[in-house]
Structure 1
Amino acid sequence: MEKRTLVTLLLALFIALLGVGIIAPIIPVYAMDLGATGVTLGLMVAAFSISQGVLQPVVGNLSDRRGRKRFLVAGLSIYAVVGLTYTLATSVEHLILIRLFHGVGSTMIAPIAMAYVADLAPRRQEGKYMGMLNIALFAGFAGGPVLGGVFRDVIGVNSAFYAMSALTVASLGLILALLPPDRSSHKTRSNAGLLTTLKRILSNTRVLGILLPRIGTMIVMVPTLAFLPILMDRLMGATGIEIGIVVSARTIVNAGLQAPFGRIADRHNKVALILIGSLIISACVSVLPSATNFLQLVWLSGFMGVGEALVWPTLGALAVEEGHRYGQGSMMGVFNMAMSAGVLIGSLVAGSFMDLFGLEYVFYIVAIVLAVSAVAGGLLIARRDPTREEGLFTDSNDS
């Protein structure tokens, strides 16, 4: 039963993220065609993160108490509707509102799926299971941009949004038909309220150390997803397919390395892995503005994927360990709230820097931010934290 649950969940996530990946490289250019500036483009990205960040701890805590499947169904339903609404946008303001609604749906998909998988993960195999989850997420997202480029170049922009909706409906069908009612990883569900849970989680120094590089890696994500397509389109005259290949190269490498690097995260020093991976990403991002041709961008994107493949399952494994104390839904809600905070900060800072100093400086500043956040986070994770012993759950495996 657990194997069936895992396979169903991962397949549904792959299909849903394939749809999201299809529109990822199209939205920035689509927004520019509607008159977006750097700041309004940043606001469009920020709108997604605001709704996502505010709601993730709430939804995560509720899923610990009331079950997870209902939230997955709701999130996928919202995604299906959102894909259609993009085609109706006639201004940047419309896109900002749509992205706000899109963020609500996202709140109920990835964090809940992470909590689902964390419930299934045996002790000391957290990295392996988070690696499998990330394979589904990144493989779907990796295949999407190339398909999105084909839709844009061959059929038209709106066809990509229709494809997203269709794929989301297919994913929803899998969840409804094959995913059994979820179980909590604990004998009883948590009765702790949201504020109590958040206070205990955020008082843990080790958790703060996990969240810092999570924020840093997401700050980097903004220019490499939202602004790199604009750079390629404006300076290199890149086609939709070329933009899709560059975006996908990073995610394909990331997905391909999740399984082996997830096993490495279970066996080796996690702080060292986070530092190495973050420095690889920072170095690649700082060089992106100096790339002069399509092939160089593909290589840099691929090496960024290597760094992310080191960081993502390692941070995920650390988050699962803390989830045993506080509830996986609550912990993953906070973990992904940090992701949203990173995207929000990155979008606003990147948009402002683009308008004030030029597109190139966006990449330099976020590379520095990631390096600093990784070092600071590593120091906090390595510290012994007395609050680490206090959790919301008692678990016989903790002893």
Structure 2
Amino acid sequence: MKNSLTLLTLYITGFVGFAGFSLLFPVMPLYATEVGASVSQVGLVVAVYSYVAALTLIPFGMFSDKLGRRNFLVAGLIIFTLAPLLYPLTTNPQHLILARAIHGLAAATFIPAAIALVIDLAPAAQRGESLGWYTTSTQLGLMAGPITGGFLLKHLGFEAAFYSCSAISLLGLAFIFFRLGAIPQKPIAEATEDSSWGWLKQRFVFVGLLTPLFIATGSGTIATYIPLYGKGFSITEAGAGLLITAFYASSALLRAPAGRLSDKVGRKPMILSGLALSAIAIAFISQFHSLSQLIPIAIFFGLGMGLAMPSSLALVADLSSAGGRGLSMGVTTCLFQVGLAIGATAMGVVAEMSSFETMFLACASSLAFGLLVIFGLMQAR
């Protein structure tokens, strides 16, 4: 019962943390153009958050194994609260990039510690389901954030969106302080193993590590460029926020049942079907130009993401030691952030050199390539 309540605390905190920073998804590309950024610079403004997170997730995850998950959970929420207050002070793309870099440290501090705590507290036979519920909560946050951000931007402007981002994270910080005593500082099963890299010698673990990389390339492309793509077809800021919300909502609805199913049928079929569905959905984005047509496509992408992500996290958890879970989750979420950065930057270059339609087809091709790589790793086991 105690563990169940603590897991619920982590689910709620995950929702609040992700709702806060995702509120800026429909806001940041438009704010970047407001301060003078080109299309490729917009990609860099969005992606630097992920680049900084990717560079620091692994060491921060490893430190959380040694210094305690709870400390990093609190520190991450503090940065989530303070960093958005820098955005209204920026007046050019360079200053905005610096503010985004600071914000990226929040994700690196918070995410691996939170996921490792969920794994520590969950029974091994229900690991996929527990991770499914945690990622459901984060996806619900990612669902609520963009539509809130689009609404705030349309009716109240950029500053209201930035201050709201900070306020939501402050609520999460207050909630964690209220429940602080229930959150363990050390792993539940105190590890005889240290947080070494030995688990990476298992080839099959790369199935779990690479799946987030390819999935995030798709979600990073959609979250970054749907507002600009939609603008060319008279889709409003609120409409762009609704599209981003649609794929996170469908992903959220599937996460817990998909995680539970992976506990029973295995991780592999969930990962393969999720990657395939995501690749097909992104390819279809390039063929449609209205909000009513794009919403079902966004939903299908979210379903693919919802199938693949809980299983990939659970697979890495299955193959890593109790004392190294902060590190293993740091590596996994690092690769997810790299995927988001690739989606925001590399695909932005494709769009600038050709068109948004070509960019979405290129993104779909990268996911199809990822599907082949993952399938090859499964066969070589």
Residue 355 in 1 paired to residue 362 in 2? no
CA contact (8 A) 1:211 1:377 kept: no
CA contact (8 A) 1:58 1:333 kept: yes
- 1:315 and 2:312 equivalent? yes
Structure-2 separation of matches of 1:335 and 1:165: 26
Large movers: runs of 4+ above 4 Å: 189-192
How many Å apart are 1:56 and its aligned residue? 0.9
Aligned residue for 1:327, secondary structure, equals helix
**SS at 1:205's partner residue?**
coil
Residue 56 of structure 1 contacts residue 107 of structure 1 at CA under 8 Å; is this kept in 2? Answer: yes
Deviations 1:175-233 (A, max 9, x none): 112032413133247545xxxx24x2433211222222221111112220001111111
Q: Which residue of 2 aligns with 1:160?
A: 161
After TM superposition, the structure 1 = structure 2 runs for residues 164-179 of structure 1, keeping only pairs within 5 Å, are: 164-179=165-180
Q: Decide whether aligned partners of structure 1 residues 382 and 100 sit closer, same or farther in structure 2, where only a CA change above 3 A counts.
A: same
Using the TM superposition, give the Cα deviation of residue 374 of structure 1 relative to its aligned residue in structure 2, in angstroms.
Answer: 2.2
Residues paired across the two proteins, number: 378
Q: Which runs of 5+ in 2 are unaligned?
A: none
Write out aligned runs for 1:153-302 (5 A).
153-179=154-180, 180-182=182-184, 183-188=186-191, 191-192=194-195, 197-198=196-197, 200-233=198-231, 235-302=232-299
Q: Work out the CA distance in 1 between the residues paired with 2:252 and 2:171.
A: 22
1:22–1:189 CA distance, 2 compared to 1 (3 A): farther
Structure 1 runs not aligned, ≥5 long: 385-399
Question: Contact between 2:80 and 2:103, CA under 8 Å: does it hold in 1?
Answer: yes
- Report % sequence identity: 29
Partners of 1:188 and 1:205 in 2: CA distance: 23
C-alpha distance in 2 between matches for 1:286 and 1:161: 33
Residue in structure 2 matched with residue 389 of structure 1 by the alignment: none
Q: 1:322·1:331 contact (CA, 8 Å) conserved in 2?
A: no
Quick check: 1:147 aligned with 2:148?
Answer: yes
- Partners of 2:157 and 2:280 lie apart in 1 by 36
Following superposition, the deviation at residue 355 of structure 1 comes to: 1.5
Letter in 2 for 1:186: A
1:62 and 1:378 mapped to 2: Cα distance?
33
Please say if residues 216 and 369 of structure 1, whose CA atoms lie closer than 8 Å, have aligned partners that are also in contact. yes
Q: Deviations over 1:331-383 (max 9, x none)?
A: 10111111122223333311211121122211111111112112212332454
Structure 1 residues 287, 73: closer, same or farther in 2, change over 3 A? same
> 1:116 is aligned with what amino acid?
L
TM-score, length-scaled by structure 1 = 0.91
> Could you say which residue in structure 1 is the equivalent of 2:21?
20
Distance 2:69 2:26 in 1: 30
CA deviation after TM superposition for structure 1 residue 38, in Å: 2.5
Letter in 2 for 1:135: T
Cα deviation per residue 1:111-168 (whole Å; 9 max; x = unaligned)? Answer: 2111110111211212101110011100011011111111111111210111111111
Secondary structure at the residue paired with 1:174? helix
Given the superposition, is the C-alpha separation of residues 345 and 155 from structure 1 closer, same or farther in structure 2, using an over 3 Å criterion?
Answer: closer
Distance 1:282 1:326 in 2: 35
Equivalent pair of 2:187/2:322 in contact (CA under 8 Å): no
Q: CA deviation at 1:71?
A: 0.6
Partner of residue 117, structure 2: 116
Moved more, 41-50 or 92-101: 41-50
| 3-state DSSP of counterpart to 1:305 | helix
- Specify the code of the residue in structure 2 equivalent to 1:315: S
**Is the Cα contact below 8 Å between 1:64 and 1:189 reproduced in 2?**
no
Amino acid at match of 1:226: T
1:91 is displaced (CA, Å) by: 1.0
Q: Tell me: CA distance 1:229–1:189, structure 2 relative to 1, closer, same or farther (3 Å).
A: farther
Whether 1:136 aligns to 2:137 is yes
Question: 1:11 aligned to 2:12?
Answer: yes
Contact in 2 for aligned 1:21/1:141 (Cα 8 Å): yes
Which of 333, 338, 341 is 1:341 aligned to?
A: 338
Q: Compute the displacement of 1:324 (Å).
A: 3.2
Alpha carbon RMSD of aligned pairs, Å? 1.6
Cα contact 2:193–2:321 (8 A) shared by 1:
no
